[in-house]
Homo-oligomer: A and B are copies of this chain.
Amino acid sequence: MNKPIFYHAGCSVCVSAEHDIVNLIGADNVEVVHLGEQKSRIAAAEQVGVKSVPALVTPNGNVLHLNYGASIEDVKG
């Protein structure tokens, strides 16, 4: 099984949600991607449907947008 991917951009809402997800799932069971620092991964995130961060993409490809930190457009900017 692929790992879920947690996409964020360093915002306070993102960091808080990251802690929650890591606590719930375990740090070894989720890949954390900072789109502000890894802009090359923005396209793949958008392709699976990530519209804002923080967001968790499940192994079967569903996107869970967690609260709202910033739009993907803001992250690109």
Binding site for B on A (CB under 8 A): 4, 16-17, 20-21, 23-25, 29, 56, 58-60, 62-67
Chain B residues near A56 (CB-CB < 8 A): 24
Chain B residues near A64 (CB-CB < 8 A): 17, 20-21, 66-67
Contact between A16 and B62, CB atoms less than 8 A apart:
yes
Q: Write 22 A-B pairs (CB below 8 A) sorted by A numbering.
A: A4-B24, A16-B62, A17-B62, A17-B64, A20-B58, A20-B60, A20-B62, A20-B64, A21-B64, A23-B59, A23-B60, A24-B24, A24-B25, A24-B29, A24-B56, A24-B58, A25-B25, A63-B67, A64-B66, A64-B67, A65-B66, A66-B66
